[in-house]
Structure formats: structure tokens, C-alpha cells
A and B are shown apart, each in its own frame.
Chain A
Amino acid sequence: MTRLSSGEVLTGILGAATLGVLALLPLADQGYYLSLAINMVLFAALCTAWTLFSGPTHYVSLATAAFYGLGTYTVGLGLDYLPFPVLVVMGGVVAAILAGLVGAATLRISGVYFVIFTFGLAELVRQIVSYTQVKLSSRMGLYVFTDFTERDIYWMLLGLTAVVFITGWLINRSRLGFAMQIIGNDETVAKHSGIDTAKLKIILFMISGAFIGIAGAIIAPRYSYVEPPGAFSPMISFLVVIMALLGGTRKLWGPLVGVIPFTIVMDIVSVRFPNDTSIVMGLAFLVIVYLLPDGITGRLEQFWAYLKKPRAAPEAAPVEERA
């Protein structure tokens, strides 16, 4: 295991401190702002998990809703029989299995075909779950009654986000992460270098899917009632993609930078313009696309590079002098 650089240690400490502060939020507010924070943390977990796969490989996955819904339904169906923590893990496992199947099936597909395939997948899973529900139990929705408060759910999601981050960081440092970088840059080169691109893509997709499933499982108790249109809503898939792209998918913390402003802006817009939410959101999107092509982190990187530029010139002079 390579030693941690001082930069990484600093980031780690900063991250832990931020986590600590965020964990205190429920003590400050139990109402509206906690609700908002839960939405933010949920999407932070989802978007970061999504970026684990779609960032390095540049494959845009719209299967988020499928994994999320499976996680929610695992809890919904099993709550009367198994304890909650077991169900959460099960949710992750079920989602990972689906991800594995999908990964194995879609090796030869890339680009936009993968996008549509994964979207079709979410709808397919939804229809199958609906149909099975109809035939087996003649009920559609499931009631999920637990004693969890909003606070508990917030902390669980916060914990999940932290785990996703740490996992992402570990992957980046490992051979898996290195291999993914090569695949992302040029898949042909990767294959010729002897990297088993297929296997690695599947593993990464499964890890990403598992986390998304766990997020879905954790959030299930919040609404007391789950039904397929809500649990498998394609909106979830789209929002995750939008926020991750907004933040920038080249860095692990990129999606975070997208989630926070997006959730806040969506919220402000919903409150100020309840009858015109769609119009304002549409305009906001267009603004984002034109002004932030690489996401916010892209702009930040540009800014950072610009700051670094002037210092390069003086360094060249001493070398010349010596020569």
C-alpha cells in the first residue's frame, strides 16, 4: 500500500471534519431544512456511486432507477419478515446481481446504445415487478411502517455517502482504478495491454449498482408507501445524470459540487414559482449547459490552471542562466 501524500491526508481530515459538522445538522433543525438535507445527501450518495462507474468509463448509465427501486422493494417486501439492516444489505446484493447480469450482457455495446439499454432496463424491471406483484399478491403498493425518524434516515444516508467516497478513493488508488483510467482514455489500448476490460467494467458496475440499491433501501421507510411508478421513476435516473454532469465527473467529489447547488436551486424555484417550475428549470439547464461545459469542477480546474500559469515563467529563467 503506497503511503498517503500530505495532500491526501489533508483532504481526509477536511472530509472527516465536514462529515462531523454535517452530522450535527439534525440537532439544529428537524423540519424543512432537514428534509432538504436528506434529499441532498440521498442524491450525493446516488451521484457519487453513479460516478464510480460512469466517470472513468464515460458510459452514461440510466439504470439508476432500476437499482434504486430494487433496493426500495427489497425493504418493502421483506420488512415483515427480516430485520432492517439485513434488508439493506440484501438490497445492495440484489442490485449488484442485476448489475452483474446487465454488465455481462452489454459488453459489446457502447456509447448511446448503452444509455438507451440501461434506460430500457429500468422500465423493464419496473414492469416485471408490477406484473409479479399483480399476479402474486394482487396488491401493487407496499406499506412500509417503521419507527425511523427523518434524523435516523439522514444519518444513515450520510454514513452511506462517506462509505461511497472512501470506496471510490480506495478504487482510485488501486490497480482497478488505474486500469479504469486507461480504459476510459482508450479502450483499444487497454485491451492490447492485456487488461481484461470486460471483467473490470462489470465489477465496477456491480459496486456502483450495489451502493445505489443500498440508498434505495435506506430511503424506503421515509414515505410509508412504495409503489412501482414512484420507486422506479425514470426521473431519478435523469436527475442523477444531470447533477453528476453538472458537477463534473472527472473528480470523485465532482458530483457533490453538482448536487448541492442543483438541489438548492430546484428548491428555491419550486417555492418562488410554484406554477412555473418547469419553465425556470428549463432555462436554468440551458444556462448550465452553455456556461459550464465540463461541469462546475471543469470551470474550477480551468480557474486553478489559470492561477498557476504566471508562476511557470520565472522558473524557466534560472535554468537558462545556468546553461
Chain B
Amino acid sequence: MSIANRQLNSAWSDWWAGTRNAELWWTLAWYDVVLRYRRSMLGPLWLTLSTGALLVGMGPLYATLFKVPIGTFFPHLTLGIIFWTFFTATINDGCAVFINGAQYLKQPGFSPSVLVWRSLARNILQLAHTIVLYVPVALWAGIPLSPRMLLFLPGFVIVVINLHALTLTLGIVCARFRDVAQIVASMLQLMMFLTPVFWFPSSLPGRSHAILYNPLAQLLDVVRLPLLGDLPAPGTIRFLMAFTVLNVAIAAAMYRLNRRHLVYWV
């Protein structure tokens, strides 16, 4: 058994060594969730309950405010809130990923990408707790099962790739500059209103459509629309392809340039 020698490896093989060790990051993520259950009886189910309460409270009210039929609004809102919570929780966790994992990074042969995957896996497990809320909502709204729903899977892969890249970039930046995490948190709060989490993109007049070209709105579309039985627009796919390439390139460059410094910063 030979443990990879971190400084001799290229950035790529370092990243791959951590990625490949799924046993490690999956177990760490699994215990993150399981131990939360042990601390309180409902554990992560609290999130299911509070999201459910939020939906029941907001659905009828906003349908009336926006003057839209609740049958179409409620599924839209449900998926909007569920995925938005997933995005923001993952991005906020991403800011702290290396700072909180400092002890692990000082362990021989521990690749930083393990911590990135752990954070993603934990948030996906958490998402599994809230996405179930969509089942009764979809049944109530009479959304038929359609083969288009399968497009959720490639959409989710795009989301995971982008969140991975963002976590890596933000994790490195936040390890160096500790105030970036707060900046990111407040920007996400602002983005929530600029992204059609609650409202319908179709209610935007004319030129204001431009605000839909924010990456989070596009990422939301690519997982939400298939589950509603719709297709994402070709423009969304083109935009996301370009954004994913850019996002991954930035993350790769950040990692290449800074991975040797990272352990000294945390």
C-alpha cells in the first residue's frame, strides 16, 4: 500500500485521488447526516418539516398576490424553494469547506477534493429529505408522469459539476480571505429575489428578461422544468454549457495555483 505523495503529484492526479476515494467522502458525508439524527430525534427531517410549513404558508398567499392559478404555481414554488435551498446551502458550506477541514488536510495523503465531495454528498443527502415533498404536491396538482422527467438526471449532473467547481473555488478563496464567506452569503440573499424562485419568468416584461441570465436561474431551470414536465429552453442549455466550461476552468486554475499554499492557509 502506498499513499500518494501530495507534492509530487500533478494537480489533476491529486484531485482524482480524492475523487476516487468515494468510500472516504461518502462515509464522512453519511456520518454528517446520521449523527445529526442522533443529536435530535427528527434530525434533518426538521428541514423537511420547515420547508413543508413554508410551502403551505407561501403557496396560497403568493398565488393570490401574483394572481396565478395555484395549480400551476404550487409545484413551481415547491421545486423552486427545494432547489434554491440546496444551491445556497451547498455554496455556503463550500466557503467553509477547507477552513473546517483544516485538521484533515494535515493528515498524510489526504486530498482536498475529498472535502469538496463530502460537502456535496452531505447536501445531496439533505436534498433527498426535502425533494420528497414534491411527490404529494405533484399528485395534488395532477402533473402526469412523462419521459421528459428523465431529463432531470442530466440536468442534475450539470448542477453537481458546477457546484463542485464553485465549492473548490470558493473554498480556496475563503481560506485565504476570511470575509468572502459573508460577502457570498449576502450576495446569495440578493440573488434569491433576482432568480425566479417564487415568481414566474413569464411575468417579466420585455427587456427585464436579461436578469434571467444569471447562472443560478439557469441552473434552477435545468432541474426544475423537467420535473414539471417541461423542457429547458435551448438558450438555457447553450448558456449553461458556456458557463460550466468557464466555471470548471476557473476552479481548475485556482486549484492548480493554490493547492500547495492551501494547507498553510488553513
A binds B: no
Which residues in B have some Cβ–Cβ distance to A below 8 Å?
none
Which residues in A have some Cβ–Cβ distance to B below 8 Å?
none
